[in-house]
Amino acid sequence: MKAKQWSLVVPFCMLPAFAQAEVEIYGRINAGFDSVKEIALKGQGQRINGVNDNTSRIGFRGKENLGNGLAAIWQVESRIEIDGSKERAWASRQSFIGLETAGYGVFKLGYLDNFGKESWMDDIDPIKVKAFENNFVRVTGERVKNAVSYYSPNWYGWELALTYGTSELDHKQMEDAGLKHPDNAQHTYDVGISYQYGPYLAAYEYTKFEGQNRHKKAALPVNAHNHRVQFGYDGDAAFWTVAYQQGEGVSTALYEDGDFKDALKMLGWDYKKGGPAKYREMSVASEYKLGKKMRLKAYVTKGWDLKTDQGTISDSGYLQYAAAVRYDLSKRTNLELAAGQWSFDTDHLDKANGVGFGIFHKF
């Protein structure tokens, strides 16, 4: 039924736009085969082999010049799963409408990437095979619902970004938790500033999540925040970046993993009862071009022991690293072979590792 609706609605909606030549259709089709031993308690790890989608997406965007240096801009981008594993909602990635001004910056309204996702800071995760996503990038999240943002013009190498998301809970979350306005407040504040001098880059981002877990019945932290600073070099043949972040109460792909939570309980801390945890993480990433068609990529991420009001959770740190080789078949199609590993300070968890191969195409 959904397929029939799409085939009917999309062409009729797009016909006027095509006539005006103002709509750009773009996207990526990415898939690969992974063999991964997932995070698991000691002796319980299993290797999973299979075809996986590597964040494929399709988008539509446009721009209308309104005169006097003012333009209307819009974008609707959706995640697609070409391996058939999930159904994704329309506009599930960054989607917005906004105004672009000459000399005054850009204003947007919608479902927006935060500064860490929108800017060059996201290159701390250079490997595109999904099985080896850098845990570092997940701390500040990716997108903000019900959001408004402002991105300044470039002032002698400096740029400023402000994003605010208000009342992000949906009606079902409110109903499940028995909440009514104004108790549904779940606000996100994101501030970013960057500077570029030639190939050298520097950036800082502060993110605050206010009331992020209010809809959950478990006694989780209500407020959370993260500070992130990052430096980089973007040359013709090489890119490298180093980033450090610290914060409290923010969840990542690792900290949301059930086996990792069980290991933390064995170490004496229950996330439902022990209050928010403070974390510190550092990541280094690089990418080097070898000739016109090949690139080498790698990253190393270190997470130190978590801390709570009751003290340090000993042996709760981790080390994650991965490397990849990319080969360009054309300007739009490339292959990538990657391998990586998680190791943990605690003896309660096995090492997680894997290899993966991906095919990527941009249009």
Domain boundaries, the chain: 26-362
What percent of the chain clears pLDDT 70, i.e. is strictly above it?
81
pLDDT at residue 277, as a whole number: 82
Average pLDDT, the chain: 84
177 in Cβ contact with 185 (< 8 Å): no
- Per-residue pLDDT for 272 more than 70? no
The full DSSP string for 55-118 is: -EEEEEEEEEEEETTEEEEEEEEEEE-TTSS----TT-S-EEEEEEETTTEEEEEEEEE-HHHH
CB atoms under 10 Å from CB of 109, counted, come to 14
- Per-residue pLDDT for 130 more than 90? no
309-323 b/e with 16+ CB inside 10 Å = b? eeeebebbbbebbbb
Using CA atoms, how far apart are residues 146 and 184, in angstroms rounded to an integer?
Answer: 13
- Per-residue pLDDT for 136 more than 90? no
For 90-106, the pLDDT digits (tens) are 999 999 999 999 999 99
| H or E element, residue 327 | strand 318-328
Task: Name the residue among 341, 253, 342, 337 with its Cα closest to residue 294.
Answer: 337
- Between 341 and 19, the more confident residue is 341
Mean predicted confidence (pLDDT) in 174-192: 66
pLDDT confidence band for 214 (50 / 70 / 90):
very low
3-state secondary structure of 13: helix
- Between 247 and 74, the more confident residue is 74
Mean predicted confidence (pLDDT) in 323-339: 96
- Per-residue pLDDT for 12 more than 60? no
- Per-residue pLDDT for 171 more than 60? no
- Between 362 and 9, the more confident residue is 362
Task: Name the residue among 167, 139, 164 with its Cα closest to residue 250.
Answer: 139
- 26-362 CATH choice from 2.40.160.10, 1.10.10.10, 2.60.40.10, 2.30.30.230: 2.40.160.10
Backbone angles phi, psi at 262, to 5 degrees: -65, -40
Mean predicted confidence (pLDDT) in 203-230: 74
pLDDT confidence band for 132 (50 / 70 / 90):
confident
Backbone angles phi, psi at 14, to 5 degrees: -95, -15
- Per-residue pLDDT for 108 more than 90? yes
pLDDT at residue 152, as a whole number: 97
128-145 b/e with 16+ CB inside 10 Å = b? bbbbbbbbbbbbbbebbe
pLDDT at residue 10, as a whole number: 43
- Per-residue pLDDT for 2 more than 50? no
pLDDT at residue 179, as a whole number: 53
Q: What is the DSSP letter of 306?
A: P
Mean predicted confidence (pLDDT) in 201-211: 90
CA distances from 160 to 71, 208, 334 (A): 20, 17, 34
What percent of the chain clears pLDDT 90, i.e. is strictly above it?
55
pLDDT confidence band for 86 (50 / 70 / 90):
confident
